[in-house]
Structures are given as structure tokens and as C-alpha cells.
Structure 1
């Protein structure tokens, strides 16, 4: 049969790749969302790339986000309550170690899980932070701004970002928490825009006092980023909702005012405002005021404030704050008499993966400065897996700063083909029992380690990949956390894992037992059934395309369809062979089934690595079985000496893909 499918255009992958996963804060253990919402997807892709382009060509890094006001606040609270003894470094290290241990239990294959404030990664991160600041400063991309910061007069202290809560001022935002200058949905605004602010120390309305900090001129990158989004829409497989979310922030400065406040004197008010245009649609409750720049918008805000008119602002780019004044942070280089500042945690966490890349290269004896070959070379690509709430920081602030570091600005000629920026893969929320859960909300998420008391890591990995977080937020509903009366039907968490522990496990065992019983533990030599051969190639090509597009739920569908077809082939044909005592048919079925097992374990390898490794060892084949250079080869290609080859003897009741011990009760 002519192989037309082999001629199908296949996606191209880079020669080298860096994979990163969002950084958990250093004041907490990992909950299910950290693992199921980001790390499982990042690890699966990193493992696939190692198989696809070579493990020496892939670096997978992440780490603990050590700095920031939430960590300092948590530490102080525990010390005040006599629940922790030791320094803040001790506190962060304790949480970092716990995070690392849990990631290992989930079979994560990180080349480095560092900590931005500890040990060698912390040293590199301090150097990188200073280098980036100095380069941005020297090239004119930074500005000093005196902006209001909240001050609690009762406690006589300036309040850090998480010590103030209120309502987000961005029109249409439904955030359940808004802090001094950012909300839980990732919207950025100036502190004096926060609605109904309250100090968490005193519970009272804080004062505003001007404080000077360093800001990156992010607002100057509006047009550049618009052009980048246009290019990504036309020339990339970036997720549509990522690009749409970024575009929402690239609008001109806008103010929304309820119509009922303006109906009588709109013309008079307009005369007091800077140059602007308005959108006045009678059916809408608000009138939209559009300004040419941030300065004009802020002047208009003052006008509305003096007139006692309430308003909301729209999403737009504002200068991105780089510094703050909390003690627990990396010191900002002193410039222009600005002293005793530390980096705000968000900007330094954006370049932390570069610090981790340098740390890893140093650990294997390479020059740390070779990080540029991984982050900036045309032959390499950086894949950053993030949560949807962080799109502003990674998709806008990070891209703006990275463009500035490359010397690209609003006056540059934009040749996107030669500008290598990270590729973002954002996931929607993993809900818990249909509700958004976080350690700072009323609904507390189960810890990632706690789930391993009821499910295996590979069952959970399969399930989290199947949720389809690329498309929408999906609920994680493990029955073990439900009341008995609320449990209906089978546990959905086990559905996709059962494909491995039941269907595929049964097929592999059948192959081994049949070989042992009838063929002296040999894999018979012969031709694979042509129909199965074609279905195997189709599964491989579909899997590859979905992996390229990071459509992990579709990968699970491909595996489900292929494994069930192989199982059906085995049952129908082996039943006939046994009934007729037809050893020739039995041999043909076994040859074909072993090809199915060979294909399936290569595709499953990035998802359930330890179990697939066990299958490979029992097959007694070499590690090239994972190598996609040989993806269409049959199993004989991986046997060193066929004449003397035998599979490893499989004892009765041995499972390759095991269920959790609690599931056997």
C-alpha cells in the first residue's frame, strides 16, 4: 500500500528549546492548581521535546518565587503567632524544599527547580536583575515617578501591595480581590484608582503619600505590541484568547462615566477636559471618553474628581513599576539619589527563568553566558506555560522589557522573523468543585501532595491533561473530596487514567503472556497488519500536530481511540485464533499487537514516564524507542540482537500501569 500519510506536512520544531512553568510563591506548598494547571502541561511538553529533538537540546526550568509582600506578610504572621522560628530565608527554604519534593512525586523532569532568593540560583538572579536594570536605565527605558502609596496612620507604616484591599477600578472587572495596584485578574492601575481601599492591618481607609520608584516605560510599547499581536495572529499557533486578552490592554486611555451623572452638563464638562473623543451610544449605561495619552487621561481624572463624578478607567498600558520599598527583596542599583529600593517581585520573577537557565548551564560545566544561545538564537524557542491571570505580566510587561533589552522600540523597523521572543501557553483556571479556589480565597484548594493519598501521579497527569484548559476553565471534581450523598457514577478523575490502568495494561500483559506461553518469550518476526500500520501512523501524525499546538486534551483523545482500537483488534482476532487453535493467526496478531504497544508507549512516554520505562525494560529494547527519528519504525529496530533476544519474564498479576492502592479495596 502506498504511504500517502507520510507525505503529509509535519510541524517543525526548534533545534533547541527552553520550557518554563509559572513560579509558585515561597510562602506556600503546592496546591492542585499549581500542578494540574501548569506543571503537568509544561512537563509533558518538555518530555515530548526531549524525545522529539533530543534531551540534550531541552532545558526545563522553574522555581520558587522567593520575594514579595505576600511572603513577608505570611512569615511575619507566623512569627507573631509563635508558629515559626527562624529567618525568612529559613521559611522560604522550607517551602521550597516541600515544593520540590511534591514535584518529584508527580514525576516532573525539571533540569532545575531553583529558588530566586536562595543559593546559586539566588546569586545568579541577583546578578541578572542588576544587569537588566542597568541596561534599561542606560538605554533610557526607565523613568522615576512619584506616585501615591498607601500609608496606615494608625500603624505608622507604608503599606505594601498586598496589605491593601479594595475593588478593581477597571471597567467590567469581576475580580474577587484587588490590591494596591493590581487585582487578582492581573489588571494594573495606579494606587489612587483603587476603589474603597482598606488597610488589612487596621481595617481602616489608608492615606496616600507620594513615593518615588523606578518604572519601565511600558506605555511607549503600545504600537510595537500591537504590531507583534498582528504578526502572531498571521504567523503563529498562539492561543486566540491569549492574543485577545493582550489586545484588550492595548487600547488608548479611556474613562467610563455613568450617563446619569452627565446628562445635564455634558457639554460644559467636555470643555474642561483635555483633548478627547467620546463614544455616546444611547443604549449603553456609560459614556466613553478616549484620550490621546496617559497624561491627558490623568488630567481628566482630576477634573472628574473635583466635580464629584464617579468613573471607571479602561484597560490600557501604564508605566510598569520595577521597584518598591519592602525589605525582603533584591536591592535595586542606586541611581540619581534613589536609595534603599528593592525590586518589585513581578518584574524580577519575569526574568527569573533566565537566571535559572544560567544556573543550570553553570551546574553542567557550561558557560552561563550561553543562555543567549537558548533564549535568543533563531534555532531555539522558549515555551512559557502560565495561568490566565498572568497574561498581562508575561504577554505585555515581559515582552515590552525583552524588546527594550534587544534595543527595539517604537522607532525600530520591526522584522518579527528575526526577533525571538518567548512563546506563551496560557491555561484557563482549574476550578475545584465548580468554583475558583485559591489559598487566599474562602474556598481552599486541596494540596497537590494530598491528592497522592487517593490517586497515582500518572492517573492525575492524564486527567489534568484531558481537561482542555486551553479552551475554558474546567472543574476538578475528585469524588474522594465529596460527601457520600453527592457522589454519582464513576470518579471522573479516574476516567482517562483507566485507559492506561485497565485497557492498555490488559493489552500489554496479554502480549507478554502469549509470547511466554507460545513463543518462548520471543517477539515473533513478521509483517504488521497493514490496517493497524496505517492507523498507527495516523495516530502518530495527529498526536504530533496536537502536541505542536499544545492541545493536550486532543492528545488524550488520540491515545484513547488508538489504544481501544488495538485492544479491539486483539480481542476479536485472538479469540478466533484460540477457538481455531490457529498458531499462524496467533503469531500475526501478536506481531501486530507488539507494534501497537511499541507505538503507544512512545506516545504515552511524556505523560506516564515511569510506567512506560517499565514496559521498555520488560520488552528488553533500547532507549531509541523514545526517539522520534525512528517513530515509524517497528519494534525490531530497538532490539540489539534479535536471535538472542527475549522479553523479560512477566510474573502473574504484575501491572505496568498501576492503580492507587486505595482503589483495590
Structure 2
């Protein structure tokens, strides 16, 4: 039954899957798992079935460094609620994160930690190697820029130790931090509006501090060329490319016209060379500059005039270093010592460190990581949240180009430039509101959800939300007041496809085989109708998986399984009424073929339950191998003529509901 002459998607021979990096100052909330990890794990499991389990590496880990972790740790110590070292603090959270991921059946080859154990040693080596390569290649510059300083505490402030308003025009984030906002917009510290120190609650001072920066702003044209190529030659998500392009604009400043009292010309004469867009119906004037330096000169002019303004998204030098103690030490260059890596850059290459650590752990040469990350027959798939598009889609891509020796003005053959493929998901809201550990609306912890739902129910639900298209609300009834609960729990809708419909069908196949055929699956030809139905479902599923359209995969499964179930109910009722053994036999032959196909498609989503069915079918693991996707069950029997299914006792469920759902 091998398929011929059908144009099917081509998958790489080897693949690396990554799934973001949760901070080491927290446990996992529902957004970590439902917004990124479940999608990444489903794809990793699918690829193992599709191209072989030894050809897939799935890595992630705890992001151990950064000012939020230092700040939280210091606060707990001051309150007397934690007595260990900062490393102990991070390890405690890492262990909790890993435990929850295990409970959700994440199939990570390695869930490491950037600051713990052997992975930390390798990550330090990789960080130093990358810094040295960038420095020696001329891709770094030493810049003295303003940094926030709290005179009351006599300390320089980093990251989330400063809170204000994002200076980017149109930004909807609830918080701006020292040099990035909660939506991932980057800017210079001096641009932050109404800054306050989280230590003293007062407005901090700005002092000049020297750090190393990557020349990201020079890669605007190269990144635009990459986006253009991705539009033509890839299945990259459209809003990913749109978001990247928003940052590839010339430097812009927006000024409210009412501040100028009609004297626009007076401001224009004081500014560096620019283009002015003055649309009378709009409240703001738009000033477009040729360079970042010209924009910054214009900012100085406007500040001296007492004007309030907003800047537009554009590329700025990407800071590599900082001065917090809890971080990886940067190699000393040109007299700059005692610097540590800023957390964002080193987290971008941490998956490389984890890949090397994993290869070493299984006795392979860790230097073989290049074959996985850069090989012609390999592909890296990075699952991220939408807030991180700037870092992965812009900063990471430019840094990786530089590491391959590509300067900003070089002609690049994008067909041979094997950069990671990004799969960004939109936000998972909670009760129609954005929830996060740092916002007023606190999200439920991922572990808490398992008190009410099974991992497979949650995996089905989060995949069905369609986060590839838009932000969607997670609305579990168990977190609603009793009076607000209307109708069935939406979290269970897609899980019920397995726990109710498919579970009932599989059980019926077993019980009927035991009752009428002595536990032997009947032999015979599968109906053409069923072969066609299964084939169409497989090819549609495969296409959606290739495009990472996980919600469409759930639609395919829903349609396929319900058709299988409808056929079973109608035809078996007829066979039982007429006591027609031949019809009953044919229904079993067809239904087992349909069940066999459905199991392979469901396997990446509900692995444990599918394995239980395979065990009772008494067939081998080739059932999951897509090389045999169109083959019947007999292909996977060690001895088809004597084969018997394992006896299924009454009231045994393959796809189980949570115990709380029986109350």
C-alpha cells in the first residue's frame, strides 16, 4: 500500500527542537507549558516517528542568570524565607520545573540549566568561544552608554530593577524595564519614560558605563533580505515576518504637534538631516532619520526644548555584557574586566550548549553539534513566545550570521544559509486577560492544573487553541466561580475526543474481537473507502504538522475519529441486528485499520495512552514509524497467523479521564 506520485512535504534527516528557557526564579505556570512546551514536544515526538528517534534532539533548560533571579533571591533572603546560596535557589526551581515537565510527558533529551552542573561548564566554554569569535571578527564595539544608578543603595541597576513606560510608539506593554519592555521592545536606558528604581522607589540617576555591544544595527539590510527570502521560500509564520520587519525601519521620532504651537519649522531647523511626514489629520509629526546617531542627536535637541516624544522600532546595538555578579564572566578585552554576560545573549546560544552537553552525555563527540545545527541535512526548530521574536528573529539571526563570518554588507546565499526555523506562538491569555508572574493577574501554575485535568487532556486542549494565528484565552471552569460556569468545560472538549469517542471505539473493537473471534483480529482486505479515508487524513495531518498548524491537526483527528466511530455504530448495529458475521468481520477489519492509523497520528500528542493500546494489540513499535504509515496491523505482528490481542477486562479505559471528573 505504499504511496506513489503524491507530493508530500520533505522533512530533514536530522533535527534539533528547542522550547524557550524559563527563568530560574519561578516554577512553571500554565503559559510555559501550554504556550510553548506542548507544541515543541508534540513536534519532537512526531519527528521521532517520522525520521527516527536517533535523528532528533529535543533540548531546553532553566535560564539561570539575570537580574530578576538575583532580585528575587535577595528579597527572599532578606525576608528570611530562604537560607541557601543563589545556586541553591536556582537548583530548587530547576528541579521543580523538570518535575512538572516530566508529569506533562515532555520527551526532552535534556532539560539542563545554564548555571548548574556539567551543562553550566559547557555553557561557559561556549559563551567564551562565541565572544572571542565575535570580537576577533570585528563584530563587537565598546560603547559607553547611560545606565541607571540608585544613589540610595549605591548600586547600578539592571533589567527589572528599573520600571517605567516603554518609549516605543504604540507599545501596549504594561511595563518597561531598564532597556526592554515586557513585550520585548529594545531601547537605550535613557529612552525609558518615568523610570523608578525597584529598590528605593525613586527616580534613578543615569551614569556612563562601558559595555560590549554587538553591531546589530548594521545588519538591517541583511535581515530584510532574509525576511524577503523567507516570504518566498519558506512556511515561516506571517506574523513572525511582519514583527521582524517592524524593527527594520529607519530610526523614527514621533512628536505631538500641539507641543510646537505651530512652529514646526523652528524644530526642523535644529535637527540633523531627516524626512518629515506631516499629515494634518494625525496628532503626531513623524521625523525619519538616516542613522541611529542622527536620531540620538535629534533626541538631545528635543530634550533641551522640553519636548515629549516617542521613538519608533528600529535596530540598536545589542548589548552583550553587564555588571551583575550572578552571571558568566566575559573574557577580558581592552582593559574591560569584571563584566558578565547579559542574560539575553547567552540564553540565545544556550541550546547549542545543551546540545553539546547532551551529545557528551551519550558518549558522542560534543563538537558534533555543528552537524546538528549547521548540517545540510539537518534543521533546528525553535519554539518561542511572541514576546521573544526580537531576540530570536533579529538578534540571534544576526549573531549567527556573524559567527559564520558574514558581515553586514556581504551577499548571502540564503538557500545554503541554514539558520534556525522559528515557530512563535501568540499569548495564552487567562480568563481573557494577559497573565504573567510579573503582572497583576497571576497565572495558575502548570502543576496545579494536573489536580483537575490529565496531561493528555491539557495537551489536546492547548494544541487546539490556534496560537499560530492569535492570542487565545485559557478558560478552565475549575477556576471560575460556580455562578459563572455555563455549559461544558471548554478545556475538556478536545480531550473528550480521546477519552469518550476514540476510547469507546477502541474498547468496542477489543470486546467484539474477544466475544466473536476468540481474541484474533479477523484477516481480510480493508475496504477501499477506509483506505481512502485513512490516506486523506494522514496526508492532511502531515501537511499541517509540516506547517506547525497544530490546531488544524486536532481538526483532522476530530473529523477522522468521528467518521470511524459513526461507521462502527451504524454498521455494527446492522450486523448485530441481522446476526451477520461477515459484516461484523468486515467492520472489524476496517475499524482496526482506522484505529491503527489514528493511533500513529495521536501518538505525538497522547503517547502513554497510545502505548497502552499498542501493548494490548500486541504489535511492535514499528507501528509509530511513518515508513509504514499506510500498512495494516498485520505488518506489526510478529506472527500474524497465531496473533492474539491481549485480553481487555471490562471497564478498562485506554484514554482516561481525571479522577476528579467522576465526582
TM-score w.r.t. length of structure 2: 0.99
Q: Matched residues in 1 for 2:157 and 2:473: separation?
A: 35
Q: Matched residues in 2 for 1:337 and 1:409: separation?
A: 26
**Which moved further from structure 2: 348-357 or 405-414?**
405-414
Q: Note the 1:351-366 alignment, pairs <5 A.
A: 351-366=349-364
Match of residue 5 from structure 2: 7
What is the CA deviation profile of residues 57-100 of structure 1, one whole-angstrom value per residue up to 9, with x for unaligned ones? 00000000000000000101001001011100000000000000
Match of residue 91 from structure 1: 89
Query: Of the candidates 136, 142, 145, which is equivalent to residue 143 of structure 2?
Result: 145
Match of residue 552 from structure 1: 550
Q: Note the 1:62-81 alignment, pairs <5 A.
A: 62-81=60-79
Contact 1:61 1:357 (8 Å CA) reproduced: yes
Aligned residues: 663
Query: Of the candidates 306, 313, 322, which is equivalent to residue 308 of structure 1?
Result: 306
Aligned-pair CA distance for 1:7:
3.1
1:111 aligns with 2:109: yes
Aligned-pair CA distance for 1:262:
2.9
What is the CA deviation profile of residues 354-395 of structure 1, one whole-angstrom value per residue up to 9, with x for unaligned ones? 000000000111100000000001110000000000000000
Match of residue 540 from structure 1: 538
Match of residue 446 from structure 1: 444
Q: Note the 1:3-42 alignment, pairs <5 A.
A: 7-42=5-40
Q: Matched residues in 1 for 2:496 and 2:71: separation?
A: 43
Match of residue 472 from structure 1: 470
Q: Matched residues in 1 for 2:451 and 2:408: separation?
A: 54
Match of residue 163 from structure 1: 161
Match of residue 483 from structure 2: 485
What is the CA deviation profile of residues 321-370 of structure 1, one whole-angstrom value per residue up to 9, with x for unaligned ones? 00000000000000000010000000000000000000000011110000
Match of residue 505 from structure 2: 507
Contact 2:254 2:310 (8 Å CA) reproduced: yes
Aligned-pair CA distance for 1:634:
1.0
User: SS of the residue aligned with 1:66?
Assistant: coil
What is the CA deviation profile of residues 227-249 of structure 1, one whole-angstrom value per residue up to 9, with x for unaligned ones? 00000000000000000000000
Q: Matched residues in 1 for 2:190 and 2:141: separation?
A: 19
Q: Matched residues in 1 for 2:424 and 2:156: separation?
A: 34
Match of residue 648 from structure 2: 650
Match of residue 324 from structure 1: 322
Aligned-pair CA distance for 1:263:
4.9
Contact 2:212 2:319 (8 Å CA) reproduced: yes
Q: Matched residues in 1 for 2:262 and 2:511: separation?
A: 87
Q: Matched residues in 2 for 1:538 and 1:647: separation?
A: 28
Aligned-pair CA distance for 1:261:
2.1
User: SS of the residue aligned with 1:417?
Assistant: coil
Q: Which runs of 5+ in 1 are unaligned?
A: none
1:579 aligns with 2:577: yes
User: SS of the residue aligned with 2:552?
Assistant: helix
Aligned-pair CA distance for 1:268:
2.4
Q: Note the 1:195-206 alignment, pairs <5 A.
A: 195-206=193-204
Q: Matched residues in 2 for 1:634 and 1:115: separation?
A: 44
Q: Matched residues in 2 for 1:104 and 1:5: separation?
A: 37
Q: Matched residues in 2 for 1:101 and 1:345: separation?
A: 24
User: SS of the residue aligned with 1:251?
Assistant: coil
Q: Which runs of 5+ in 2 are unaligned?
A: none
Match of residue 132 from structure 1: 130
1:183 aligns with 2:178: no
Contact 2:430 2:473 (8 Å CA) reproduced: yes
Contact 1:120 1:359 (8 Å CA) reproduced: yes
User: SS of the residue aligned with 1:416?
Assistant: coil
Q: Matched residues in 1 for 2:566 and 2:17: separation?
A: 37
Cα RMSD, aligned residues only: 0.9
Aligned-pair CA distance for 1:209:
0.4
Query: Of the candidates 228, 231, 234, which is equivalent to residue 230 of structure 1?
Result: 228
TM-score w.r.t. length of structure 1: 0.99
